[in-house]
Structures are given as structure tokens and as C-alpha cells.
A and B are shown apart, each in its own frame.
Chain A
Amino acid sequence: MIDRKRRRILVIGADGADPGLLQHLIEAGQLPNLARLRARGVCAPLLTAFPPVSPVAWTSFLTGVGPARHGVRDFVTKAPGAYRPTLGMFTVTAGDRGLPAYHSRRQVPALGQITTAAGRQSFTLRVPGDFPPHPVDGRVLAGLGMPDLVGSFGTSALYTAEPDAERFDRVKARPQIKPLRLTADGWLQGDLDGPAGTSSLLTCRIEGDRLHVAASADDPTILATLVPGQWSDWLSATFFLAGNAQVEGIYRLKLVRLAGRSVDLYRTPIQCAPHAPLYPLTAPPELAHRLADALGPFATLGLPADQAGLQQGLISLETFLESADGAWEEQAAIVRHLLVNEEWDLFIAHYFPIDSAQHMFWRAMDPAHPAHDPGEAARFGDQIARAYRWVDRQVGELLALAGDGVTAIVVSDHGGAAIRRWFYLNAWLEAEGYLQATPGKKGRLRMDWARTRACGFGTGGIFLNVRGRDPQGLVPPGDAYQALRDELAARLLGLADPETGQPVVKAVLRPEEVYPGVNPGHVPDLSLALAPGYALGRGESLGQVRAGPVLETNRTWWSGGHEGPYLPEDIPGVLLMAGPGIPSGAHLDAPRIVDVAPTILHLLGLDVPAHMEGRPLIRSSSSSQL
């Protein structure tokens, strides 16, 4: 039984919430719940981690240490001792039945583990980088990192009987356009891709102005009937793995177009079914079953809004927004359900809508963005503010459900800013003679590692090709290594954008500063922080080089972000705290994201572990245990 006299803490993670935009929207009266919270508590910009990307920063939030200590250091990095990118969030090995097995990179305990060990009940819901869930962390629902059934971060598809039609010319992900084949008995069938190379069939039939989705050609039970623009509920598909093991996936469909016999049918990524997830979804595993029993199927993918589908030209902005809105509402229902029906002392719920909107709709909000268009602004200019309002509503509802005695913390991992220009680091390294490439397939460039001295991998990382460390290393360790680092740093800091005359690179950081104590070769030899307005071009993180200019104006929908990368002080998050233990209007002395976990532990009356780099932000007598 929970002692109700004990302090309870509700943490709302508002990914990407920017202190400047938050202030503006509070002043405009659009965020009444956050305004009330701020008025009775404290609020300050929050220094984030480097690089300022969600899995890195949120793991610092959960652990109270920086990335050098916690081990989740980037989305993508270079595989040590090899010339290939590898995932920085978690590691992958071969598991059973030809499936991948996923392993956490986190090296230190998180809040969930510390509070659980102290006899407190905790929930950690959907926090980016928190995958796979640690069984010692209390109760966890996996966040960004949780893959779909095929083992990707989200592979959606568009089914059509006319895959070569002109309207698909702009689609970059051709394999995701799936042909619908007409069977002898009049069904349209398309492939549903499953794990480990398995597949199943999507079966449907056109009848007048609607599309019926059936269980199979042999079992014509109608599972959904759709008119143009309509979404199905969650549907399920079964896949047969080696050894006759069955696994279920869930997906939703949207009938995008139906004109005569011509049909375009969008399918979300096929996701792990929550009542029997193929990959680890919750800790303990029964939590997923309980949620599925209470709420029915729900999106389990860590990043359920189909940003990738929008990037690839597979879906319209309206379809993207509909898919995102549906996922956010589902998640909000899960959070409310657990908040009300389960016992807890620490409840952490993470929400993605603000970050998602800032990435995709910045250009519609910002008249100074090079891709701003007044017509688009009329359609989508309010989307970012709408995301803040949505989070504000969640704050209001959760606080009402949790009751007055709860200490509330709203925290973001970084802010948001316009991306006006792309910087292609590897194209620059090639132009300056540090990187060599030869013509490869399909007009692409192929790295020539035997003649390359430096290459970019990850969010602003530069890896030198070091003799004795890398397979074809040619930079001698010692003085030559140091001299090359100094030369690169000086030249990058002197790089000016010919269009503006402004510096592109604001700082060049050494691993001794960013990743003290980590083995060389496991982290970049140099890390760039770009000037505001610039971000690394796509593909740069993967150790690829493209034929093209070094700098390019951003005309894409991915028009805002935080992943430049920028110095932590250039893209701060926000910290807002109110309630028992938080003196109203208290001054927060330059809070950092590593300070939040110690603050939470202190508010709960628990000791702050000595290994934590942060310190409690509130130290008044009122913060002692109630």
C-alpha cells in the first residue's frame, strides 16, 4: 500500500519545448495550464546535453549524468574499427529464429531503478532512448527506439494497382510503393512485410465508392470498409517465423484515393501487437498485456508519427497530421489510464508532438524561413502552436487527475529553431582534400578509405582514419594526429557561408571535453557545433559523401530542429516546476538537464547517488519529505 503522505511527483516530458516559444505562447494566452503552473512555481531555460538530440538528452534526464557516463551518445555513430555507421541508441545482435536482439547502451541506473530500489513505485513512459526497457526500472513503456515489426524505426507503405503512375514520381522510397495484384476471383492483394523476411497478404475489394478490406481471399470476412479519406481501426496480420512460431502485427489503413478501379491505400508501419509484442515493449512484460486488455490495440512504435513517410514523399501533410494526431491521442489515453488506475510515487510521461511539429512545420510558421510560402502558412502556420496547446491540455488534465498534492515538473530535452541552410561536412572534407571518393553506383560517390584522413559520422562527429586503430588508417597517432585535429578545427572555424559571409561552424569540441574517459575510436575525434540556422545535411551522419555543393538552402519540409548540432546553450530546453517542495518564484541557478534527476530524488526524500553529475536545484527546508 502506498503511503499517501509521501510526496508524489508527476513529470511531463515535452520533447522540443522551446523556452522562447513557450514564453511567447504563454503571453499570448494560449497555454493557460502551463501559465498557472509557472505562476505558482519556477521556470527557467534548461541547459541540454551534447549533441542536443533526444535519446542523448533524455538519458541524461533519466540518469543525472552526461553522455560520456551514460553511454547513449548519439542517434548514429561510427562502428569502432570499421568504416560503417552503427546505431548509437542501442546495440543489435542476432537473436533467435533469424530475428535481431536489442541491447541497451545505458551504463548507469535511471530514476526508475533508483526509486524502485528505494521502495517507491515509478512509471517511465515513452522516454526517447529508453529501449529496450530495463527490467529493474520499475514500470516502463518503451520510447523512441522501439522498432516496428520488420525491425525499422517505421516503414509505412502505399498500396496501388498502378505503381508506375506519374503521381508516384516524387516518392523517394520506391520499395514502399506496393503493387496491388488482381486475383482471378476479383480480390486485390498486396504484400505485408513481416519480421525476418516473412510476409502476409493484404486483401481488399472495390465496391462502388468504397473499399472493403477482408481477412483473406479464403475468408471474406470484412474487417474494414473505407471511403476516400477514411482511416481503419487497428487491423492485425499474422506472420509465420521459423519453427512454426506465429507473431502478430498491427497496422492502420487510410484510403487515400479511389477513382473507378484506381486505388491508393496508405498503410502505417506494421507494429508489434501490444498483447504479444515481438520485441521488448514494457517492463514488466505484463504491463503491455494489462494495457492491451484495458485499452485495446495501440501504436507501439517509439516514434509513431510517420515523419519518414512524409520525408520520402509517400504521404501528404494531412495524412501525416492525421497519423500523428491519432498516435498522440492514443498515448494520452494510456497515460491517463495508468495515472488513475495504478499506484505511483514518480510518474514520467513523455510527449512528442511539439518536437514533431517543429521539425516539419517551422517553415510554415516562420516568414523568414527560405521555404516559407504564404499559402502553406495559411494551412499549416498554426501547427507548432497547436502542438504546444495540445501539451498544455495534457498538463491540465493530468494535474486534475493527479490531485493537488502532486509536485509537477514539465521538462524538455532541447528547444527548436529554424534550419535555413544545410552544411555537407563530408563534401567539405572532400573539397579540402581530407576525404577521397571515387564514382560509385547510381551517380553516388564511394569512399576511398585508403586515401581518406577524416570523415564525418553521427551528429557533427569527425573521425580521423588513424593508423593502428582503423583498418586502413593512415594518420599516425601522436603529433601528426594532434596536428591534423588542430588544422581541421582552425579551418572549420574559419569557414564562412559565401551567401551570408557568416561563420558556419561555431565551435569544434575535443573528445577530452565532450566525452572524458571514453576510449578513443569509440567517440568522434572532433565534434562540430554549428551556428544557429545551419544543420548537417542528410546522409552526413552515415559516413557518406555526396557530389554537390558544401552549403545548400533548405527547401524541404524538415525545416526546423535542434540537431544542427548546436552548443547546448544555443538550443536550451525548459524546466518548469510547481507544487509541494517548490518555493514559488525561487531562483534556479543555471539549471542543467543532469540536475533534474537529483532534484527529483531530493524532492522524494531519497539520497542522490554520488556518481550523478547533477545537483538538486531546490535545497530549501520545504523540499524535505512531507
Chain B
Amino acid sequence: MTERKTKYTTISIPRELYRRVEGIIEGTGFRSSTEYIVYLVRQAVIAIEADRQLIHSLPYMIPGADEEGP
């Protein structure tokens, strides 16, 4: 299996959305719509992961212990 096949997978997005990405790629420095979409998804994932990490560490959200720790 080539490295590309082990490191990448294929997803489908609506063709209309793909065309919109193609329409805004000019001048961004990205070499392809795929590269730009990967960048956008990565940015969204970083933000959502960071949001989740904050939410789940709020003491108000954590189920309470009825015994103290060691």
C-alpha cells in the first residue's frame, strides 16, 4: 500500500460546496481545493476540540465524587 493510501482517506462533499471552495481559493496560496478543505477542517477541529476540553474540565460539569481521593 502506498504511503498516500495509508495516510489519507476519501470523503464526499456536496459538489455545490466543492465549487464554492474552488471559487474562493484564488490568491490563498493553497494548491488545490482538497488542500484548502483539509486546512479548513483542521481549523474547525482544533476549535471544537479546544471547546470540548474546556467544557469537560469545568468543575460544574464533572460528576461528583462521594469519596475523597488518595
Chain A residues with CB under 8 Å of chain B are: 53, 75-76, 84-87, 92-94, 98-100, 147, 150-155, 158, 167-168, 170-172, 256-257, 264, 303, 307-317, 319-320, 359, 371, 538-539, 541-542, 554-558, 563
In contact, B59 and A153 (Cβ under 8 angstroms): yes
Q: Is the CB–CB distance between B50 and A153 below 8 Å?
A: no
| Interface contact A555-B66, CB-CB below 8 Å | yes
A155 to B59, CA, bound (A): 11
When chains A and B are docked, how far (Å) is the Cα of A256 from the Cα of B70? Answer: 8
Task: Provide the bound-state CA to CA distance between A308 and B53, in Å.
Answer: 13
Cβ contact within 8 Å between B70 and A311 = no
**Nearest chain B residue, comparing its CB with the CB of A147:** B54
Chain A residue with minimal CB distance to B40?
A94
Listed by A's residue number, 16 A-B pairs whose Cβ atoms lie within 8 Å are: A75-B61, A87-B51, A94-B46, A147-B54, A154-B57, A155-B57, A158-B70, A171-B69, A171-B70, A172-B65, A308-B57, A310-B68, A311-B62, A539-B63, A556-B63, A563-B60
Q: Indicate if the CB atoms of B69 and A309 lie closer than 8 Å.
A: yes
Q: Which residues of A contact B58 (CB under 8 A)?
A: 75-76, 153, 308
Report whether B66 and A556 are in contact in the complex, using a CB–CB cutoff of 8 Å.
yes
CB within 8 A of B54: which of A53, A92, A98?
A92
When distances are taken between beta carbons in the complex, the residues of chain A under 8 Å from B67 are 170, 313
Question: A86 vs B43: C-alpha distance in the bound complex, in angstroms?
Answer: 16
Q: A158-B70, A313-B69 are in contact. Are A151 and B63 (CB under 8 A)?
A: no
**Bound complex: CA A154 to CA B62 (Å):** 12
For the complex of A and B, the 6 pairs showing the least CB-CB separation, nearest first, are A556-B64, A100-B50, A152-B57, A307-B59, A94-B46, A94-B43
A319 — which chain B residues lie within 8 A by C-beta?
69
Q: Is the CB of B64 within 8 A of A558?
A: yes
Question: Which residues of the other chain, A, contact B48 by a CB distance below 8 angstroms?
Answer: 84
Complex CA distance for A540 and B23, rounded to whole angstroms: 42
Q: A558 vs B44: C-alpha distance in the bound complex, in angstroms?
A: 34
Residues A100 and B46 in contact in the complex (CB < 8 Å), given A152-B53, A168-B70, A316-B70: yes
Q: With contacts defined as CB atoms under 8 Å apart, how many contacts are there between chain A and chain B in the complex?
A: 120
Contacts of A98 in B (CB 8 A): 46
Q: How far is the CA of A558 from the CA of B66 in the complex (A)?
A: 9
The answer to whether A312 and B53 touch across the interface, beta carbons within 8 angstroms, is no
| Residues on A with beta carbons closer than 8 Å to the beta carbon of B63 | 172, 311, 538-539, 556
The reply to whether A308 and B62 contact each other, CB–CB distance below 8 Å, is yes
Query: Are A76's CB and B68's CB within 8 A?
Result: no
CB within 8 Å of A: which B6-50 residues? 42-44, 46-48, 50
Contact across chains for B54 and A153 when beta carbons are under 8 A apart: yes
Complex Cα–Cα for A606 and B48 (A):
42
Are A371 and B55 also in contact (CB < 8 A) when A93-B47, A94-B46, A541-B61 are? no
Query: Is B43 a contact partner of A308 (Cβ separation < 8 A)?
Result: no
Q: Hey, which chain B residues are within 8 Å of A316, CB to CB?
A: 68-70
Interface centre among B46, B59, B64, B65 (most CB of A within 10 A): B64
Chain A's closest residue to B50 (CB) is A100
**B51: which A residues are within 8 A, CB to CB?**
86-87, 92
Chain B residues with Cβ under 8 A from A93's Cβ?
Answer: 43, 47
The interface residues of chain A lying within 8 Å CB-to-CB of B47 are 92-94, 100
> In angstroms, how far is the closest chain A Cβ from the Cβ of B60?
6
A404: min CB distance to chain B, Å: 39
* Complex: A563 Cα to B60 Cα, angstroms: 9
Least distance between B68 CB and chain A CB atoms (Å): 5
CB distance A94 to B42 under 8 Å?
Answer: yes
Nearest chain-B residue to A540 (Cβ)? B61
- Counting chain A CB atoms within 10 Å of each CB, the highest count among B55, B56, B58, B70 belongs to B70
> B56 to chain A: which residues have CB within 8 Å?
152, 542
Q: A93-B43, A94-B43, A150-B53 are in contact. Are A542 and B68 (CB under 8 A)?
A: no
Q: Among B53, B59, B61, B66, find the residue whose CB has the most chain A CB atoms closer than 10 A.
A: B59
**Which chain B positions have C-beta within 8 A of A312?**
62, 65, 69
Decide if A75 touches B60 in the complex (CB within 8 Å).
yes
Contacts of A75 in B (CB 8 A): 58, 60-61
Which residues does chain A contribute within 8 Å of B42, judged by CB atoms?
A: 94
Instruction: Name the CB-closest residue of A to B64.
Output: A556
- Contact across chains for B68 and A557 when beta carbons are under 8 A apart: yes
Asked if B65 and A76 make an inter-chain contact with CB atoms under 8 angstroms apart, the answer reads no
CB contact under 8 A between A538 and B61, given known A92-B51, A93-B43, A100-B46: yes
Q: CA separation between A264 and B57, bound complex, in Å?
A: 22
- The reply to whether B70 and A557 form a contact with Cβ atoms under 8 Å apart is no
CA distance A171 to B69 in the complex (A): 7
B51 to chain A, nearest CB (A): 5
CB-nearest residue of chain B to A165: B70
Contact A85 B66 (CB under 8 A): no
A152 near B54 with CB under 8 A, answer yes
B54–A264 touching, CB < 8 Å = no
Query: Complex: how many Å from CA A264 to CA B69?
Result: 12
A542 to B58 Cα, complex, angstroms: 11
Q: How many Å lie between the Cα of A315 and that of B44 in the bound state? A: 35
Chain B residues near A154 (CB-CB < 8 A)? 57, 59
